[in-house]
Structure 1
Amino acid sequence: MAAARITATKHVVQKEIFDVALIGGGIMSATLGAMIAEVRPDWSVVMFERLTEIAAESSNAWNNAGTGHSGLCELNYMPDPDDPVKAEQIGELFQLSREFWATLLEEGDNTRPASFINPTPHMAVVFGDRDVAYLRRRYATMRSLPLFSAMRYTEDPEVIAEWAPLMMADRDYAEPIAATRYEDGTDIDFGALTSALIDVMIKADAQVRVGHEVTRLRRGPDGIWTITGRDRNTGRRFTVRAKFVFVGAGGYALRLLQRARIPEVRGYAVFPFGAQFLRTDNPDVVRQHDAKVYSRASLGAPPMSVPHMDKRVVDGHESLLFGPYATFSTRLLKHGRLIDLFTTLRLRNIAVLSAAGIHNLALVRYLIGQLLSTRRRKFAQLQRFYPTANPADWYLVQAGQRAQLVKPDPHKVGVLTFGTELVTGADGTIAGLLGASPGASTAPAIMVDLLTRYFPDERTSWEPVLRRMMPTVHTAAG
């Protein structure tokens, strides 16, 4: 990465006015910045990241499972096996992402695709009569759709043993089991991808300022935002101005949007979830599992708790991850503060957050159970996937922190959502992204939506550029 262009301690004077300011140095801000570099390379862009390196939170390779979410194996995207709408939509959006990434890399001299995207089959495996019947119906629904036509299905343990040897070694073949497999799945290092996208920004003269924490946003009477914050390396304050602000700060996004005083987030709240995974780097184990294998969440468990055993390729090294195991902290970022959650509380959202908790008592019980779970119990869950797993090969790692969005609801007062939402200010000068998965995998579509909403006068001139980069942009992103 062109690290020489990233500044950590530059003091900024108030006279600076940028066309676009990006808050947060992760995949979302980087995607928007790279897209602007293509459609309006003449615009001045600045990115602020509070940590001393970019992509160190949710975009970091070890803070997420690295699945290129495409609806192939994620059963939580299709709870009704006869309704493929959401899975198909996510699959289309991910194809759009692949087009965008491929075009940027083909046209530049950035990181080679193999450094952040690696072919990895996607599988779904289920156990027991009920779940086998579900997967059979799901496959029957999906096989007729073009995106999923290459998917394979079997209930034959011998075939599954060929697809995933670790999973079938010493398994009781009397238990009903079924699996689907799609060869053209992906494992993605979103940290390396973020670096590649930021390289695109920097080549268009964007500025990237690490170690700069934004603490305040105020819109002036001239419509221009004043952004103030602190250089965490020197302790000095900085101030810049920007015509448009994008808040892609992960768990801190809501707090910054609240401080910007935009009415669109009144009543919004967040609830933090963390996750642990069991990891092995033993090459003798890793070489026997070449897939991302997802199953069904247990009854009463939230969608993001779907158990999966993943092949990972990070910096050229292969590992396996199994999880997730839910954790809880009042931090909204992995490198955040214990007071984070409390800084988002407002009179308007306390009832919303409380109501969401009451409506999700099963989730609360699940979370408590996870927090009380011992390492032995966690390992037993791995053995459901990998019966002969050796505890000596595996160790627990802490993944990223997610701030799930809680929204006001006219009937339930508050609802907990599992997804991402682009919040757009009515004045057309600020936007932010709230929520979690499958955000990273669908970032280009989200940013096309943002550009279309906020800069309608530019759409005619941008459309040929976007269509060249993403041929399916109109059908996938609408």
Structure 2
Amino acid sequence: MKKTDCILIGGGIMSITLAKLLQEIDSSINVKIYEKLSSCALESTQSINNAGTGHAGYCELNYTNLNKHHEVNIDKALKINGEFNVSLQFWSFLARKYKGFKPKSFITQVPHISFVKGDKNISFLKKRYEALIKTTPFKEMHFSRDRETIKEWAPLVTDDIKDNIAMTRVELGSDIDFKSLSEQMLKILSSNKNFSLYTHHEVKSIFQKNDKTWDIKIYNSKNKKIILINANFVFIGAGGSSIQLLQKSNIKNQIGYAGFPVNGEWLICKKQSITKKHFSKIYGLAGPNAPPMSAPHLDLRIINGKRQLMFGPFASFTFKFLQTGSYLDLLKSIRIQNILPMLHVFICNLNLLTYLVKESKGSFKDKMNALKEFYPLANEKDWKLTSAGIRVQIIKPYKKIGGKLEFGTEVVWSDDSSLAALLGASPGASTSVFSMLNVIEKSFKRRINSKIWKDKIEKMVPSYNRDLSKQPSLFNKVRRSTYKTLGFKI
């Protein structure tokens, strides 16, 4: 049996980011990534399977809900903004250190806009703006109800809209091609003799031995052979199938967890005469009973250097956990311990289920009508429908017999922190560096407190363990340095 330090299951942005962080901190750590498919970043990290939004809280209205006193709670927006800032700092560090790491290949400055109609929603947006503008990270946000200003910000949107409308805009938003980012990091990783990537390798079992190490049984679909690997640490970052792999580990802390899969589709336009008129990401409000991930948005995307517009996502229910998965995925994930949490969630979210089933029956014309709420003059001939990937939301045990549906991300650890599994979806990839630093902090806690490790992390992420929103001078210093390296205009 072969031995290694770390096994990372799944070749998406999370595993690749964790591998790069570990190798930067200590290049002697042996890291192996095992990916089931023919190459990395083909599921959730695939460019077309996500919105490509650098989630910073600028435009995502579901990050700033009203509380019972009808006040806007901005805590989540500030939290996500800080976490995204950590990613920006790490990518900037890589760009300064490695000539082959090219930010222009994966990140583009694209303004982020929030868009609402009607007096009630305009009132909410104004409250949101007034709360956020007082904070350091959002001090450059602009609000407008003026038609001419809005037309300048979003030419396609203002055409033929009769309702009262309002927008907020932040110039320093971003569009990110996470697949390209993953490939850039893999190129650097491949030069390290202690890093290995294995594609066409599917994990069949995960077992913890008495010495607290892990035996992993892996099937090589190319040569049809089974290999056995022993590792000190295991990370499960396999997107939708993480819940199934976590169940294979049989750790106590996974008991009661289950998955709630949501499928998505985009409307896409590549017609240059249209794409050149739209240069932002515009987010609206999610409809009644709709999951937060389905908040409609009209996005400029830059993929492989080419502009295209995406609208959606249109969410629907599915039984698959991955695009390349099986329609039996949901059924196979059912265990005695998670039956009650699953039933509780499905019963308590019948409106959501009804919405998802209804959306799955929606026609192309229905989806075009939704687009016309943003872009009234949209022509069906210019748009086509394509997959937006699958997101498996978290069902977790709640209280004694109930379950709770979560739309964020969560890491589940073994008691000794030698195994970590990332579950859930948004904001996901945008906060990958922050999330993976948290994994390192907990799973390598005996080493994280050493001065060598701390110094290296602070060199990669100058704001490490600091709240930039409360330190304006440090925030401005980090922002200038980071954005300059990444090619943004400040």
TM-score per shorter chain, which class?
over 0.9
Structure 1 unmatched ranges of 5 or more: 1-13
**Counterpart position of 1:147:** 137
Instruction: Please give the residue correspondences for 1:162-311 in structure 2 after superposition, counting only pairs within 5 Å.
Output: 162-172=152-162, 175-205=163-193, 206-311=195-300
* SS in structure 1 of the partner of residue 160 of structure 2: coil
**Counterpart position of 2:13:** 27
Offset of residue 200 of structure 1:
2.9
Instruction: Please give the residue correspondences for 1:62-461 in structure 2 after superposition, counting only pairs within 5 Å.
Output: 62-80=48-66, 82-172=72-162, 175-205=163-193, 206-410=195-399, 413-459=402-448, 460=450, 461=452
Q: Distance in 2 between matches of 1:138 and 1:300?
A: 22
* SS in structure 1 of the partner of residue 215 of structure 2: strand
Offset of residue 79 of structure 1:
1.3
Contact kept, 8 Å, 1:93 with 1:476, in 2: the verdict is: no
Give the aligned residue type for 1:151. Answer: M
**Counterpart position of 1:5:** none
What is the total number of aligned residue pairs between the two structures? 462
Offset of residue 411 of structure 1:
6.6
Q: Distance in 1 between matches of 2:376 and 2:49?
A: 26
**Counterpart position of 1:3:** none
Q: Distance in 2 between matches of 1:118 and 1:97?
A: 15
**1:471 correspondence with 2:457:** no
Q: Distance in 2 between matches of 1:102 and 1:334?
A: 32
Offset of residue 171 of structure 1:
2.2
Offset of residue 442 of structure 1:
0.6
Offset of residue 327 of structure 1:
2.5
Contact kept, 8 Å, 2:32 with 2:196, in 1: the verdict is: yes
Contact kept, 8 Å, 1:327 with 1:371, in 2: the verdict is: yes
Could you report, residue by residue, the CA deviation over 1:199-244 in whole angstroms, capped at 9, with x for unpaired residues?
2322222000011111111112222211112112222212211111
Could you report, residue by residue, the CA deviation over 1:144-188 in whole angstroms, capped at 9, with x for unpaired residues?
11100000000111111100000111222xx21000000110000
Q: Distance in 1 between matches of 2:287 and 2:37?
A: 36
Q: Distance in 1 between matches of 2:316 and 2:223?
A: 33
* SS in structure 2 of the partner of residue 204 of structure 1: coil
Offset of residue 111 of structure 1:
3.4
Contact kept, 8 Å, 2:202 with 2:218, in 1: the verdict is: yes
Give the aligned residue type for 2:440. Answer: L
* SS in structure 2 of the partner of residue 385 of structure 1: coil
Q: Percent of aligned positions with the same letter in both sequences? A: 37
Offset of residue 73 of structure 1:
0.1
Offset of residue 428 of structure 1:
2.3
Give the aligned residue type for 1:62. Answer: I
Greater shift, 463-472 or 453-462, is seen at 453-462
Could you report, residue by residue, the CA deviation over 1:400-448 in whole angstroms, capped at 9, with x for unpaired residues?
1111000111177011101000111112211110000001111111111
Could you report, residue by residue, the CA deviation over 1:35-62 in whole angstroms, capped at 9, with x for unpaired residues?
0011110011110000001000000100
Q: Distance in 1 between matches of 2:467 and 2:456?
A: 16
Give the aligned residue type for 2:185. Answer: L
Q: Distance in 1 between matches of 2:468 and 2:148?
A: 41
Contact kept, 8 Å, 1:445 with 1:477, in 2: the verdict is: no
Offset of residue 476 of structure 1:
4.7
Q: Which runs of 4+ in 1 moved over 4 A?
A: none
Q: Distance in 1 between matches of 2:187 and 2:23?
A: 10
Contact kept, 8 Å, 2:317 with 2:353, in 1: the verdict is: no
Q: Distance in 2 between matches of 1:31 and 1:230?
A: 24
Give the aligned residue type for 1:177. Answer: I
* SS in structure 2 of the partner of residue 19 of structure 1: strand
Question: Would the alpha carbon gap of residues 180 and 409 (structure 1) be closer, same or farther in structure 2, given more than 3 Å must change?
Answer: same
* SS in structure 1 of the partner of residue 465 of structure 2: helix
Question: Would the alpha carbon gap of residues 411 and 72 (structure 1) be closer, same or farther in structure 2, given more than 3 Å must change?
Answer: farther
Question: Would the alpha carbon gap of residues 430 and 423 (structure 1) be closer, same or farther in structure 2, given more than 3 Å must change?
Answer: same
Contact kept, 8 Å, 1:271 with 1:406, in 2: the verdict is: yes
Q: TM-score, normalised by structure 1?
A: 0.95
Question: Would the alpha carbon gap of residues 328 and 254 (structure 1) be closer, same or farther in structure 2, given more than 3 Å must change?
Answer: same
Structure 2 unmatched ranges of 5 or more: 470-490
Give the RMSD, CA atoms, in angstroms: 1.4
Q: Distance in 2 between matches of 1:412 and 1:364?
A: 21
Contact kept, 8 Å, 1:93 with 1:477, in 2: the verdict is: no
Give the aligned residue type for 2:350. Answer: L
Contact kept, 8 Å, 1:271 with 1:405, in 2: the verdict is: yes
Q: Distance in 2 between matches of 1:61 and 1:311?
A: 13
Give the aligned residue type for 2:169. Answer: R
**1:56 correspondence with 2:30:** no
Offset of residue 302 of structure 1:
1.6
Greater shift, 192-201 or 293-302, is seen at 192-201
Contact kept, 8 Å, 2:271 with 2:308, in 1: the verdict is: yes
Q: Distance in 2 between matches of 1:392 and 1:267?
A: 47
Contact kept, 8 Å, 2:8 with 2:15, in 1: the verdict is: yes
